[in-house]
């Protein structure tokens, strides 16, 4: 359990909860605790899906600028790798993940949300990459994950201007996947994650790995990644359970074991 970030588990859904008042600024300690919580979610077989949540007021308003302001070029050369690695650990969770976005998700907070598979935002949420207003650029995946999600021209507009993107526009351009009233954000995220709490865990993992790995390669290489993942699942017990259940009872009734 970290001081500002912890993982709780209920009915197969793990919640990585940020709680560093007032705005969940991502200082070095929070970054390290995010990575630790992500690694814990990977290792815990009771966790079948993950919600990333900053609380009712704010998701995460970005890096701790007071801490960062005193860093030299040499300091950031050393720190930039661990900074990226802390958020990449969330992206690498081999289970379905959803960001529950309330209030602001800016800078590093937006980059953290981009690491999830799915994003649910409050109606009054604001997302953005305002680093350019500080004379820098996103450094924890924003230039790469945002452009892959919404396309390069929209990502450049958001990053070049540093403007805040409201929930309606975020939904329209694909930056978020669902918008709900602020009071319903966490419950909606848990409901999405709960779909997978008794799913075919290895098949879900294979699907995520095939999609994520395939995005970075040419089509033929991506198809080979898919082929290998597809064939490997025929060695799992869940594949036998799923096909037997389909033949005997029709689709959607299999009681998977997760292996």
Q: Is position 67 annotated as part of the catalytic site?
A: no
Q: How far apart are CA 123 and CA 156, in angstroms?
A: 24
Active site residue: 108, 128, 199, 242, which one? 108
- The reply to whether 131 belongs to the active site is yes
In this structure, the number of other CB atoms found within 10 A of the CB of residue 54 comes to 29
63 is catalytic: yes
Tell me which residue has tokens 């990449």.
88
- DSSP 8-state assignment for residue 21: T
Strand order in the sheet with 165-166: 104-106, 126-128, 165-166
Q: Which of 36, 38, 63, 188 is catalytic?
A: 63
For residue 213, give both structure tokens: 């790995």
Token code pair at residue 104:
């602001």
Are the C-beta atoms of residues 128 and 103 closer than 8 Å to each other? no
| The one catalytic residue among 131, 167, 189, 206 | 131
* Catalytic status, residue 250: no
- Report d(CA 191, CA 187) in Å as an integer: 6
The residues annotated as belonging to the active site are 63, 108, 111, 131
């Amino acid at each position: 359990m970290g001081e500002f970030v912890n993982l709780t588990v209920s009915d197969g859904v793990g919640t990585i909860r940020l709680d560093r008042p007032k705005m969940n600024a991502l200082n070095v300690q929070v970054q390290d605790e995010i990575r630790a919580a992500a690694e814990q979610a990977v290792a815990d077989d009771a966790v079948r899906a993950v919600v990333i949540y900053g609380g009712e007021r704010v998701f995460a308003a970005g890096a701790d600028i007071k801490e960062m302001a005193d860093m030299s070029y040499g300091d950031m050369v050393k720190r930039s790798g661990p900074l990226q690695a802390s958020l990449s650990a969330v992206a690498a969770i081999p289970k379905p993940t959803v960001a529950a976005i309330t209030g602001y998700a800016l800078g590093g907070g937006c980059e953290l949300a981009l690491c999830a598979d799915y994003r649910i935002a409050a109606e009054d949420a604001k997302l953005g990459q305002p680093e350019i207003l500080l004379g820098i650029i996103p450094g924890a995946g924003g230039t790469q994950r945002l452009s892959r999600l919404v396309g390069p021209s929209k990502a450049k507009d958001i990053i070049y201007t540093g403007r805040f993107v409201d929930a309606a526009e975020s939904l329209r351009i694909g930056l978020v996947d669902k918008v709900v009233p602020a009071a319903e954000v966490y419950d909606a995220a848990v409901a999405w994650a709960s779909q997978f709490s008794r799913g075919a865990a290895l098949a879900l993992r294979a699907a995520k790995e095939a999609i994520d790995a395939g995005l970075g390669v040419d089509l033929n290489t991506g198809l080979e990644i898919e082929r290998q993942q597809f064939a490997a699942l025929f060695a799992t017990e869940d594949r036998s359970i799923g096909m037997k259940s389909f033949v005997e009872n029709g689709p959607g009734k299999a009681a998977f074991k997760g292996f």
